[in-house]
Structure 1
Amino acid sequence: MDTSIQHLHHFNYIAVLVSALILWFLGAVWYSPALFAKSWMAALGIVPNPDKKEGLVLGMVSSFIGDIFVAFVLLHFVLWSGAASFGGGAFVGFLSWLGFYAATQFPQGIYESRPPRLFAINAGYWFIGLLIVGGILAVWK
């Protein structure tokens, strides 16, 4: 396995950007009233206030920046693994989710006495997102 960082000079910036956009749009739908917004807010004890939207733009911008970092790092995992198919990339995404999200956030939720449905909502978003993005990055290098 080649552990050099030479691939940084030749990776597909467009694939990273598109992957970040996919994560961002998936999050916008996932946490919308059409899917899990009400359950997510209830689990966190958030009371919706239509008059207070000033944090929304900052949150959306910071989410997109974070999504770019996630896609960039996941691309490294995909490249280092040698995954060359959608399924192979999705498996790398699954391993990333399992090791870096589920394994850390599940016990943290227990320590913080958070409702299990909060973990399920947040983990579901990252599970689906990392599978899709891992698959895309594997086939669109």
Structure 2
Amino acid sequence: MDFLNPIAILVAAISALVVGFIWYNPKVFGTAWMQAAGMTDEQIKGGNMIKIFGLALLFAFMLAITLPSLVIHQMGAFSLIGGDASLALPSYDAFMNDYSDAFRTFKHGVFHGVMAGIFIALPILGTNALFERKSAKYIFINSGYWIVTLGIMGGIICGWR
């Protein structure tokens, strides 16, 4: 079974930018984020957008490649055989025949993506923000984005085979 669907990985990475366009829109959280981050319109407009969005897409792609190990349970069995199914014992094939589709839904991927957002992204962003002397508002806006984004990315990767 192939766990890395390249189209799902690409769509999941692009979804991070789509969610960001919505999340950080001034009519949603953009204005509140700018205030909490101490950013001005001039600073926002003065950035190198090709560099910013290019790197953002690269980072989202890196996350999307890593997410299958968090949102697809069968990756655990695959990792136990060293990643080469041709070298696995017959019990691996029997297991995969019985359970290859277990918990492979969009909904289940969203659940694990959201959990990754809460238990990985929030503590990392929160710790950085505390040392940067940022507000709770800043932490929750940025962490909220990653919780939603990782949920969507996880759903895409887990549900799309």
Map of 1:135 onto structure 2: 155
Determine which of 94, 113, 116 is the counterpart of 1:96.
116
Map of 1:30 onto structure 2: 23
Unaligned residue ranges in structure 2 (runs of 5+): 77-101
Map of 1:112 onto structure 2: 132
Q: Distance in 2 between matches of 1:99 and 1:50?
A: 31
Moved over 4 A (4+): none
Q: Distance in 2 between matches of 1:54 and 1:104?
A: 24
Amino acid at match of 1:133: M
Do 1:16 and 1:75's aligned partners in 2 also have CA atoms closer than 8 Å?
Answer: no
CA-atom RMSD, angstroms? 2.2
Amino acid at match of 1:11: L
Question: CA offsets per residue over residues 56-110 of structure 1, 9 Å max, x none?
Answer: 2211111111111111111232232664122221121122112221122223322
Map of 2:80 onto structure 1: none
TM-score, structure 1 normalization: 0.82
Residue 46 of structure 1 aligns to a residue in which SS? Answer: coil
Give the structure with higher Rg (CA): 2
Unaligned residue ranges in structure 1 (runs of 5+): 1-5
Determine which of 141, 144, 148 is the counterpart of 1:124.
144
Residue 26 of structure 2 aligns to a residue in which SS? Answer: coil
Q: Distance in 1 between matches of 2:153 and 2:47?
A: 30
Sequence identity, in percent?
26
